[in-house]
Amino acid sequence: MIRVLIADDQELVRTGFRVILSAEPDIEVVGEAADGRDTIEAAAAFSPDVVVMDIRMPNLDGIEATRSIARTGRSPRVLILTTFALDEYVYEALRAGASGFLLKDAGADELIHAVRIVAAGEALLAPSITRRLIEDYARRPPIRERPAALDELTPRELQVLRLLARGLSNAEIAAELVLGDATIKTHLARIFSKLNIHDRAQAIVLAYETGLIQPGASAPTG
């Protein structure tokens, strides 16, 4: 079962999300929260796998709540839901530790799919958001120093990281490098451990912010 915590300041929205998600046999809604501070407490109390997080809430917004939750040891995945597709919200949410970003006008099936994807450790961004994210990084130089941990990655791990940052799935990376899916999963686990990150979204942000990959560039496979 995927344990889900719903955080939104509107009761009607929370109720709607609960009805949609609870109808799925593999999803259990374990709690609700109406503001950022309550969300942090609920995440500690209920140990959800996924927090469906509104980006705008009273007392503490979704970004700060995500940042606080991400600082804890074994933190849940955070799926940010918002009515705003503004770039600054996307960047700040991802930097805070969010694993996915979905607009509130998405359909019920998209919400369910997003929860499952994020719970599985994948990064999820709406195509329009991904496009703007890459376009923005293309216009500016790296804004983050290259962490020393990058030098600990093997040449193969660097290849995998670059392909991941281009948006390839595990299966696509495996096909590109002529490797098995299990081998790719092992490489990703080692990459995340060495870089002290917990999922693909953080890996993608790190790759672009440090200049490891330039938007539109292809990763070498040799």
In a domain, 218, yes or no: no
- Amino acid at position 135, single letter: E
Same domain? 38 vs 108: yes
CATH of the domain at 150: 1.10.10.10
Per-residue pLDDT tens, the chain, 222 aa: give them.
Answer: 999 999 999 999 999 999 999 999 999 999 999 999 999 999 999 999 999 999 888 888 898 999 898 887 667 899 988 776 665 677 778 778 888 888 888 889 989 999 998 888 776 665 556 656 656 655 655 556 677 888 899 999 999 998 888 778 888 899 999 999 899 989 999 998 898 887 777 787 788 778 787 655 544 444
Tokens of 58: 């009273």
Same domain? 27 vs 100: yes
Contacting residues for 181 by C-beta, under 8 A, at least 6 apart:
170, 171, 174
- Between CA 130 and CA 108 the distance in angstroms is 21
In a domain, 61, yes or no: yes
In DSSP terms, 51 is beta-bridged to 5, 78
Same domain? 147 vs 171: yes
Contacting residues for 36 by C-beta, under 8 A, at least 6 apart:
7, 57, 58, 59, 60, 61, 62, 64, 65, 68
